């Protein structure tokens, strides 16, 4: 009986370990990203993702976002300043680093890449975000 208990405990720990490292689905990442967007991004980019013309670039139907995935991730991760062109209009503002971790950045990227007329079928992952340096 005593030898069985450590075996049972080991099995429980293994199964809990699987749950801890189980990857979230694309759909769950988008849902988590929506919450992050409303906590960190909505005050500038607005609930509709349209930003503010001439001041805050749109995320809605954004050619920059879709064509510059790595730069968009870098901007979320480290902040963004200097001129960029979005949908033919130049923006030259500053977006501060929001203090998000790699998982949160992946989630919010998945949300904004799949809303407001944007469609990006590949899932941005925590590992992909982690691989991007300043």
Cβ pair 86, 64 in contact under 8 A? yes
Residue 15, domain member (yes or no): no
- 87 phi, psi to nearest 5 deg: 50, 40
Coil vs helix vs strand at 76: helix
Q: Which residue, 31, 98, 82, 89, is CA-closest to 63?
A: 89
CA atoms within 13 A on the CB side of 133: 0
pTM recorded for the entire structure: 0.82
Q: Which residue, 49, 40, 64, is CA-closest to 115?
A: 49
C-alpha–C-alpha distance, residues 62 and 20, integer Å? 35
Q: How do residues 77-134 score in pLDDT, each as one tens digit? A: 999 999 999 999 999 999 999 999 999 999 999 999 999 999 999 999 999 999 999 8
pLDDT at 115: 98
Residue 18, domain member (yes or no): no
Which CATH number characterizes residue 77's domain?
Answer: 1.10.760.10
Confidence class of residue 19 from pLDDT cuts 50, 70 and 90? Answer: very low
C-alpha–C-alpha distance, residues 20 and 122, integer Å? 23
Residue 125, domain member (yes or no): yes
Residue 1, domain member (yes or no): no
């Amino acid at each position: 009986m005593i030898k069985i208990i450590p075996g049972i405990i080991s099995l429980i720990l293994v199964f809990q370990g699987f749950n801890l490292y189980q990857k979230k689905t694309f759909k769950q990442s988008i849902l988590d990203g929506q919450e992050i967007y409303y906590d960190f991004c909505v005050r500038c980019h607005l609930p509709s993702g349209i930003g503010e013309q001439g001041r805050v670039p749109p995320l809605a139907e954004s050619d920059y976002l879709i064509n510059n995935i790595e730069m968009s991730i870098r901007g979320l991760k480290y902040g963004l300043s200097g001129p960029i062109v979005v949908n033919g209009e130049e923006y030259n503002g500053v977006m501060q680093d929001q203090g998000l971790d790699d998982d949160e950045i992946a989630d919010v990227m998945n949300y904004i890449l799949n809303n407001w007329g944007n469609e990006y079928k590949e899932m941005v992952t925590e590992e992909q975000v982690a691989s991007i340096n300043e």
